[in-house]
Amino acid sequence: MSIVVKPLEASTEITATRTWTDEEGGAPLRCCLRDSRIGERIVLGPVTPPGPVGAYAETGPVFLHADGCQGPVSPGYPEDFRGRQQVFRAYNGEGMIVGGALVDPGQGQEQIAERLLCAPDIAFLHSRNVVYGCYMFAIYPGDR
């Protein structure tokens, strides 16, 4: 099985609560799935990521480039996110949570995602921050 990692679409509506020039770097950008770099203009605001439905749809904070973005430079699992412990939360085709897995930092994220997505009732995954619960990106099966 292959997987497809999806960032937030460039057209995602967001009402910025803060926009600034990053002086530290390292903010996980959901538009291009890499960490921000010093000097980049970034925005923090709430987003409801697509997929989950009804009570399972959640709104939370994300960082995005403030002045548009071309998206990820490569389609695979984002390298800047490998060092972060994550939760892969699993959803079925009706957008309801149906399980998940705690994912440690390292190189095994694709295998965990593929194992989860092999279950017939799992349609997609959301990668989320363990402590803050923030949405990072979605993972879909590439061949379903």
Q: Which residues bind Zn ion (CB under 5 A)?
A: 29, 31-32, 65, 69
User: CB-wise, 29 or 103, nearer to Zn ion?
Assistant: 29
For the CB of residue 64, give the shortest distance to Zn ion in the complex, in Å.
6
For the CB of residue 65, give the shortest distance to Zn ion in the complex, in Å.
4
User: CB-wise, 62 or 113, nearer to Zn ion?
Assistant: 62
Under the phi-then-psi rule, with left for phi > 0, alpha for psi from -120 to 50, and beta for the rest, what region is 115?
alpha
Q: How many CB atoms lie within 10 A of CB 60?
A: 14
Rounded distance, CA 77 to CA 110, Å?
A: 7
For the CB of residue 63, give the shortest distance to Zn ion in the complex, in Å.
9
User: CB-wise, 13 or 143, nearer to Zn ion?
Assistant: 13
For the CB of residue 6, give the shortest distance to Zn ion in the complex, in Å.
14
For the CB of residue 108, give the shortest distance to Zn ion in the complex, in Å.
26
Strand residues in 40-84 grouped as ranges (E): 41-47, 60-65
Read off the tokens for 28. 């996980």
Rounded distance, CA 40 to CA 71, Å?
A: 15
Read off the tokens for 112. 């965990």
User: CB-wise, 31 or 138, nearer to Zn ion?
Assistant: 31
Rounded distance, CA 78 to CA 5, Å?
A: 8
Rounded distance, CA 120 to CA 127, Å?
A: 19
User: CB-wise, 77 or 91, nearer to Zn ion?
Assistant: 77
